[in-house]
Structures are given as structure tokens and as C-alpha cells.
Structure 1
Amino acid sequence: MKPSHVCSLFAVVCSSAVSAESYVIGVEKLAFAPHYSIDAQGLYQGFARELFDLFAKTSGVELSYKVLPVEQLLPALLSGQVDFKYPDSETWAQEQKAGKSLSYSQGVVEYVDGVLVAPQRHGQPIEQITRLAMVNGWTPWGYQERINAGQIELTYSDDLRQMIRQALKKDTDGAYFNVVVATHYLDNIRARPGALIFDAQLPHNRGSFKLSTLKHAAFMQRFDRFLLDEQRAIAELKGRYRVEANLDSEHIGVEQWKLDFLERQKTREAGGS
């Protein structure tokens, strides 16, 4: 090969490297496993990280993650400091987004936010909820009318750990949070499985986490196509991280062996009646 050809090939390779698409996803500095969390080195990890890494690999783009406190994340998106925000939803922070033309992906993962109570309180009517534990920044959908009427008092905590401790001490009648995340924390970190359980009879909110952007609407179409084309791989990721564990069940987030035990118990009780 002639030297000129070598130089031309080198120029093409360099040009491709320089022109590779590169984007920054703004993510929450929050312990929100199994969806996502930040490790001791400050690196983003969990289901969401693996999902976005898979998208980068299959689409040929370069993605980096900018970890920010939750309250700084939306301003960073609106000011152009990051290209995308995750998670997001059309229903969140609507006042801050007023006048901004944000684009959203299809739902990445489904979630349920609701009240977790002590097992002995399960099934009690909403009138029995007079004090509700919350993490700062959360909105207790379905409870606002009773809060405004002074029938429910909110007790705020800085994080999930503090809120769960408060609820376990019975300082409150229940704790409002993402059900899968709270259950994961109780099972795997606090080592108190079943100490608080989701009460599906109380008001709760269903939705989906989405990717949002202010400037890259065309990119979002590619991401939506990825969600469709890679359904099998994404379903495997969801199953491994249990981010949608039993969302259509009263036992949201409960591990399968516990469900099997409850089913056997129910069968024995039916046989003895």
C-alpha cells in the first residue's frame, strides 16, 4: 500500500472517531436500587445503566452519565448541561417545564408508588392513615385531599433509609414510596423482609419511567425503536433486576419463593375449611 493510501485510511478512521455521536444522560444521585444507584466510586449502576449501555452498544452512540442531586437534574436539562434526563415523565414538575417543548420516550419500565404498612395494618381503610412517612420531594398521589383537610399529617425524611426506620418504629401509619424499591431495601439491605408490605387497597399511582430531552427529539425515535427491537433482551434485564416484580399482583416486589409459600399456605387453609 502506498503511503498516500495509508494516510487516507488513517484520516477516515480519525474522522469516524471524531464524528461519533456522543451524548450525556443526566441521572439521579440517589439510592434507588434495583432501578439505579451510585457506587462507592460515584459510578452509575443498576438496571438503568445496563439498559442504556445496551442501547449504546446496539446503536453505535457514545453515552456518558452525569450524576446530579435530584433537584438539580431538571434545571441541568433545561439549561443544556445534559442532553437527556432519566427518569422523567410528562406528569412531573409541570410548572418548571411550562413553555418548554420536551420530548419523551416510550415507557422504559413500569412502576407503582403507594403506601407500605405493617402486616397487621394491611387492609385497613384510608381513614386509619393519619400520619404518613414521606421522602422529601415526593408527591403522595391520591392523598392530597385528605392532607389539605388536615386528616393526614406528613412526616418528611431525607432518604428512604430514614423513612423506613421511622415507619418501622411505628411513628407513622405507613410509608409512601416506590413499592419495588422499598421492598428491595427491606429484603436486601435492611434485612427485614415482610416488615412493611404494600397495601393495594389504599390509593396508589401507576406510571412508567421515561427518557426526556429538550433538543434531541429525532434521537428519541431511535431509542423507541431500540425498546421495541430489543424487547427480549430488555425483558431479561427486567427479570434479573426484578424492577417490575409482580406489578399486577397484591404482592408487588415480593420474591418468588415467598409467593410460592403464600400460595401453599392458602391451599392448606382452603383444604382445612
Structure 2
Amino acid sequence: MKPSHVCSLFALVCSGAVSAQSYVIGVERLAFAPHYSIDAQGQYQGFARELFDLFARTSGVELSYKVLPVEQLLPALLSGQVDFKYPDSETWAPAQKAGKTLSYSQGVVDYVDGVLVAPRHQGQPVEQLKRLAMVSGWTPRGYQERIDAGQIELTYSDDLRQMIRQALRKDTDGAYFNVVVATHYLDNIRARPGALVFDAKLPHTRGTFHLSTIKHPEVLKRFDRFLLEQQAEVAALKDKYRVEANLDSKYMGLEQWKVDFLKRQKAKAATE
């Protein structure tokens, strides 16, 4: 065999190896910053994009992102149109997943879903919550019994922007959503920091986003090792995007300038 043929064969083998390491992550077509969003060119961006890109660079895999409407994402995973789904959880859509064997990564990022209210209403009992704004497709965990009893009326919106607008116009008594995402929207996009605040005294849900797959559990093991071995870099990305900002403190849901002010006041009081 001539050397040129050897090189051609070697290139073909290498090309096949690279192809075997290429995977598609199905992601949501959703404005969910700082976790993730889609830019004007249709590109996936945000914390999740940087995290998965870092995994690809450090683990020798090639990742691409298939952006799909939320309701099409799980069917795409179950039918094999995508290799992975993000975000996902073992507790989501159990009926659709029945009979399927899904694997899940370790937790990627923690979250809290709850109700944001006007500051003057913070701390009021749940009995005062009569009208609740929701984005279509969301489940208001912790409120179903009162909804079924007719004590809470749900008002649905197509997206976060519309839901927040309803709550700010006082069409509803509160808005149920991811606390970090809603606060980010108010602080950075709507430019109304503090107009709505998370009420930790009302029912709320804590959970964790995971990466899921049917066909590639071995890649999830590599991803889990990445989360462990690169935990300093992962933590830096979380800090950069503030995806877990104050989730375990009494400051959860407050804009950062107010958190800093309250911490300074506390530190000053401790020295007096």
C-alpha cells in the first residue's frame, strides 16, 4: 500500500472516530435567562450553553444543540431525534416516560419555583391569594388543592413577559414561576427591580435540573465525572450567571444591590 493510501485510510478512521463522538442535545426554545435562552439568530446561549461547551472541550466530545418547542422536546428524545434532553428530571412527565428506560445525570443546577407578589403583599397568608398568573404548561405545585376547591383562579399567559405584565398591572395577586428567572427578567430586562418579590412563606418547590438520555448512559457517566473534576469551573459559571443566587438564604429573590446593602447593615450591626 502506498503511503498516500495509508494517510487516506488513517484520515478516514480518524473522521469516523470523531463522528462517533458527536451528540445532539435537545434544548428548549424558551426565554429562560440566565439559565438559557435563544438569541436573534436562533443560537442557544446562557449558563447551560457555556457549561455544555466546557464539557465538550474537556471531554473530547462534539456537541450540537437542537432547539425545539418545550412540548416537542421529550417526544424528540423518546423517538431518538436527539441524544440528550436538557433540562429534565425523573419526576417530570411520568406518564409519557412510562415503559422507557431513561438515565439521568447528577444534578446540574438547583432551582426554586414559587410565587412572586407585590412587596406590600409579601408575607400575607395563602388565603389572600385568589388569582395566580401562570405560563401555559407550568404546574403550580403546592396549590392544586386550593385550585381544585375554587379558592385560586389561574390566569394563563404565553410567556414570562406576558405573565409579569399581568402581575404588575394587578390583574392577579401573584405570579408563579422560577424565582431566579423571574427576578432576572425584572432586574435586567423589564428594568423594574423589586417590583415583584418572592414570598418564601407561600408554598414553593425546590428541584434540580438534570441531563437525560436513553441511548448514551456512558456519556452521562463522563458528564458526572466532569461535574466533579471541574467543580471549581462549574461553580464559577454559576456565579457568573447567578443561576443559584441566594437559593439557600433569606435573601432569595431579592435584587443583588439590596442583598449587598442588607449584608453590609448586618455586618455593621455586628461590630457595634
* TM-score grouping bracket, smaller chain normalisation: over 0.9
Residue number among 13, 16, 19 corresponding to 1:15 in the alignment: 13
Aligned-partner residue type, residue 8 of structure 1: V
1:2-54 C-alpha deviation (Å, 9 max, x unpaired): x9334323422331122211111000000000000000000000000011111
Q: Which residue of 1 aligns with 2:156?
A: 156
Q: Which residue of 1 aligns with 2:114?
A: 114
Aligned-partner residue type, residue 198 of structure 1: F
Pick closer, same or farther for the CA change 1:268–1:128 going to 2, 3 Å.
farther
Equivalents in 1 of 2:15, 2:252: separation in Å?
A: 45
TM-score after normalising by structure 1? 0.94
Do the aligned residues in 1 keep the contact of 2:117 with 2:199 (CA within 8 Å)?
yes
Aligned CA RMSD, in angstroms, stands at 1.9
1:51-99 C-alpha deviation (Å, 9 max, x unpaired): 1111111111111100000000001111111011000001111111111
Q: Which residue of 2 aligns with 1:96?
A: 96
Pick closer, same or farther for the CA change 1:185–1:6 going to 2, 3 Å.
same
Pick closer, same or farther for the CA change 1:240–1:76 going to 2, 3 Å.
same
Equivalents in 1 of 2:166, 2:236: separation in Å?
A: 35
TM-score after normalising by structure 2? 0.94
Aligned-partner residue type, residue 106 of structure 1: Q
Structure 1 moving runs of 4+ over 4 Å: 264-271
Equivalents in 1 of 2:70, 2:142: separation in Å?
A: 23
Equivalents in 2 of 1:205, 1:73: separation in Å?
A: 23
The alignment partner of 2:235 has SS state of helix
Do the aligned residues in 2 keep the contact of 1:133 with 1:156 (CA within 8 Å)?
yes
Q: Does 1:231 align with 2:231?
A: yes
Equivalents in 2 of 1:150, 1:113: separation in Å?
A: 22
1:132-188 C-alpha deviation (Å, 9 max, x unpaired): 000000001111111111111111000000000000011111000000000000000
Equivalents in 2 of 1:113, 1:260: separation in Å?
A: 23
The alignment partner of 2:2 has SS state of helix
1:68-107 equivalence runs, <5 A: 68-107=68-107
Question: Which stretch shows the higher mean deviation, 261-270 or 28-37?
Answer: 261-270
Equivalents in 2 of 1:162, 1:6: separation in Å?
A: 62
Equivalents in 1 of 2:270, 2:198: separation in Å?
A: 24
Q: Which residue of 1 aligns with 2:173?
A: 173
Do the aligned residues in 2 keep the contact of 1:83 with 1:215 (CA within 8 Å)?
yes
Q: Does 1:216 align with 2:216?
A: yes
Which segments of 5 or more consecutive residues in structure 1 lack a partner in the other structure?
none
Q: Which residue of 1 aligns with 2:138?
A: 138
Q: Which residue of 2 aligns with 1:29?
A: 29
Equivalents in 2 of 1:178, 1:143: separation in Å?
A: 15
Q: Which residue of 1 aligns with 2:188?
A: 188
Do the aligned residues in 2 keep the contact of 1:134 with 1:163 (CA within 8 Å)?
yes
The alignment partner of 1:107 has SS state of coil
The alignment partner of 1:186 has SS state of helix
Equivalents in 1 of 2:111, 2:130: separation in Å?
A: 25
Q: Which residue of 1 aligns with 2:63?
A: 63
Do the aligned residues in 1 keep the contact of 2:146 with 2:152 (CA within 8 Å)?
yes
Equivalents in 1 of 2:184, 2:260: separation in Å?
A: 18
Equivalents in 2 of 1:140, 1:250: separation in Å?
A: 22
Aligned length: 270
The alignment partner of 2:191 has SS state of coil
1:198-225 C-alpha deviation (Å, 9 max, x unpaired): 0111110001100011111122111111
Cα offset for 1:263?
A: 3.6
